[in-house]
Amino acid sequence: MTPREQAAFAAGIETARQMALTAAVTIEVREDARAVRQQAAAAALQGLADGLRALALLDRRGDEPDEAVS
């Protein structure tokens, strides 16, 4: 990728991560946040954000993910 493409990719990953965290917090503060379905949704979004953060870190290092991790 060109530097410009890399910057766009990194910006997109960060935006998606922030959106996932925002949605998770929004779910957590709802009236029905104690419902198992809402807790599962918030946890899934937080997991997505963690995965995107890990992807961004890999991208910065320039490494390929391990086969076992995929």
pLDDT digits (tens, 9 = 90+) for 11-65: 999 999 999 999 999 999 999 999 999 999 999 999 999 999 999 888 777 655 5
Angle at CA 24, nearest 5°, toward 20 and 30?
145
Query: Model pTM?
Result: 0.75
Residue 34 and residue 2: Cα distance in Å, rounded? Answer: 46
Spatial CB neighbours of 2, under 8 Å, sequence gap ≥ 6: none
Q: Token pair of 63, please?
A: 């490494």
Residue 66 and residue 30: Cα distance in Å, rounded? Answer: 38
Q: Token pair of 28, please?
A: 């957590």
